A and B are shown apart, each in its own frame.
Chain A
Amino acid sequence: MRALAWHGTHDVRVDTVPDPEIINPRDAILKITSTAICGSDLHLYDGVIPGVQPGDVLGHEFMGEVVETGSDSTLEKGQRVVVPFTISCGGCFHCKIQQYSACENSNPAEKQDMSASLYGHPMAALFGYSHLTGGYSGGQAEYVRVPFSDVGPIVIPDHLEDEKVLFLSDILPTGWMGAENAEIQPDDTVAVWGCGPVGLFAIQSAIVMGASKVIAIDHYPNRLNLAKQLGAETIDFRKTDVREALMEMSGGIGVDAVIDAVGMEAHGFAVDNMLDIAKQKIGMGADRASVLKQAILAVRPGGRVSIPGVYGGMTDKFPLGALMEKGLQVRSGQTHVQRYTKDLLEKIEDGTLDTTFLISHRLPLEDAARGYKCFHDEQDSWTKVVLKPDMSAGEKAT
């Protein structure tokens, strides 16, 4: 089959690799119909996530048709399913309390040590996201092996086209959980850093949850415009002092909740950011945390800090005093996708949530390398890229 493989920093290629096979009883094999490039794939592309090996097949946002099932899979051939990017067994303590992204059994035993030494506990497995998270092949491919297929995948009704539901795999529930972790109340003023896909979905979710005002922060005009269309007010951090503006726009109180939908590769101008960039080149460890620092200073005393943005290592000069003295609550984490898929599918069906507005480009899988480059270099206009294995290379749909 054809699949997008990582070969090094800023080097991904569509290669011919062996088709996946059923290995465990609960496995299923999918023929991919649509798969997306995610902002967190760019961390792999930029080479800042350790444990990626040349030849690893990337992609954790995907959907497709079931073509083969293991003896204990509950899926049936011909069903169309969306697959959560977090791999969860359904049987462990964490799965039972719906902390799916902390599943104890999905990361192979011999691969758990890497993240255990880094974080004190091993990470659960993710599709296509380095050997820290299990080393599973991803879905930017013609076919993918889905373990625990009786737990993760959600079956999609025929009348819903791929693009309406594809993002149930990651960015929609991630945005939703980002808003949920911010504990949105009806009279809240909420600030969201980053108008990439997760930020935009967090904005949409916060509005659906009843926030009275949502303020979106970015510097790309097109992305800010998308936020505005969703009903947010905007701040261009290149033109405006963000903290000053947030204080004024929240009536001098400070925003009730902040959502950091940027994560470790922030573009901020802070001087300490430059230091972090330098350290990051040496290896994992120094995350650029300028957004999170800014958000902690901007949130009102007693406010809530939600972190859906991806961080991997350490940071320094963390505003610990502000965190304690202001009495803040911090919630974060990889998304417990399986907790949200059913409800969010309903909200897509009844029109409460729209997922198609941010798709800017549709490319054949063969053009995936170009998709990565443009998504990385032209973030204002390439807001979200969907790859289609079935689309022929000459076909130019947009």
Chain B
Amino acid sequence: MEKRQEIGIAGTVAGLALVAGGAAFGAMLSRRHKGGSDDAPLFTRRKPGTDNPILGRTVTIRKGRSELYEFWRDFENLPRFMENVDEIRKDGDARIWVIKAPAGQTVEVRTEVVSDVENQTIAWRSVEGSDIETNGEVTFADAPGDRGTRVSLVMFYDPPAGSLGRVIAKAFQREPEVQARHDLKRFKMLMETGEIATSAHRKDNTRKAKQQENEQ
């Protein structure tokens, strides 16, 4: 029973991780490619014993930079491949991310875009007062030859205080990374094939359908 709940929270948290605060984050992004003596991205550093909240992942997608950038910039598209995000809607200059929470509930996180360079990068962060502080940045770079575009997603989170926060923090040690990886893979599938692969045998057997069933 307890285990089930943890999984639920972990799932929620994973979604939240994709909602992109913290001054440290901006500094981290700027140091991303010059983190130390080698040229590897900072998020690939070995992290001895620390709960490093920064995670990142790169995929190569066989589409041009502008097409991918345009698709991402239209935030309403993101729930199509981000499994734990139900909806992203505009609210003035900000956007409300509606994220799945345990026991069929949803959490709403208000975010704003902090950086937007056409065909290169989009960065966002949660606005003050959110339960969880998160930052995110997606960058688009040409891949060699006709391989398309290298898309990197980097995220930072700061879980809430209190007992729930501790559970979330614990869950964060692994889940967001897995979720981010899967979300990026789904983004790639959608852009390269027009659909997201599923081995379901029937419509009511897809992961999406099962999730909706669980929420009821």
Contacts and interface: CB of A to CB of B under 8 A. Distances in A.
A129 to B, nearest CB: 11
Nearest to B59: A104
Interface in A142-184: 145, 147-148
Interface string B164-183: 00000000000000100111
B193 A89 contact: yes
A311 interface: no
Interface centre among A26, A92, A96, A106 (most CB of B within 10 A): A92
B192 A125 contact: no
Nearest to B209: A23
A96 B207 contact: no
B182 A125 contact: no
B60 A21 contact: no
Contacts of B181: 109, 113
Interface centre among B147, B183, B199 (most CB of A within 10 A): B199
Interface residues of B, number: 27
A125 B199 contact: yes
B201 interface: yes
A8 interface: no
Interface in A83-118: 89-93, 96, 104-113
Contacts of A24: 195-198
Given A104-B188, A109-B182, A109-B189, A135 B194 contact: no
A62 B125 CA distance: 51
Contacts of A91: 62, 192-193
Given A92-B192, A93-B147, A109 B201 contact: no
Given A92-B62, A93-B60, A112-B185, A21 B197 contact: no
A18 interface: yes
Given A26-B193, A92-B62, A148-B193, A108 B199 contact: yes
B32 interface: no
Contacts of B182: 109-110, 112
Contacts of B207: 110
Nearest to B195: A24
Nearest to B192: A91
A105 B193 contact: yes
B197 A25 contact: no
A20 interface: yes
Q: Is the interface of A mostly helix, strand, loop or mixed?
A: loop
A90 B186 CA distance: 16
A52 B95 CA distance: 43
B197 A106 contact: yes
A89 B192 contact: yes
B44 interface: no
B202 interface: yes
Nearest to A131: B199
Interface string A324-344: 000000000000000000000
A367 B60 CA distance: 46
B206 interface: yes
A234 interface: no
Nearest to B60: A93
B117 interface: no
A364 to B, nearest CB: 23
Contacts of A46: none
A109 B197 contact: yes
Nearest to A144: B201
Contacts of B178: 113
A45 interface: no
A107 B197 contact: yes
Nearest to B191: A91
Contacts of B192: 89, 91-92, 104-105
Interface in A11-52: 17-21, 23-26
Contact of A26 (B60, B194, B200): B194
A109 B193 contact: no
Nearest to A108: B197
Interface string B136-153: 000000000011100000
B185 A23 contact: no
Nearest to A141: B201
A236 interface: no
A110 B211 CA distance: 14
A90 B202 CA distance: 23
Contacts of A21: 201-203
A145 B197 contact: no
A137 interface: yes
A134 interface: yes
Contact of B188 (A20, A26, A105, A108): A105
Contacts of A135: 199
Given A91-B192, A92-B62, 4 more contacts: A18-B202, A21-B202, A72-B195, A108-B199
7 contacts: A19-B202, A21-B203, A25-B194, A104-B192, A109-B189, A125-B197, A136-B199
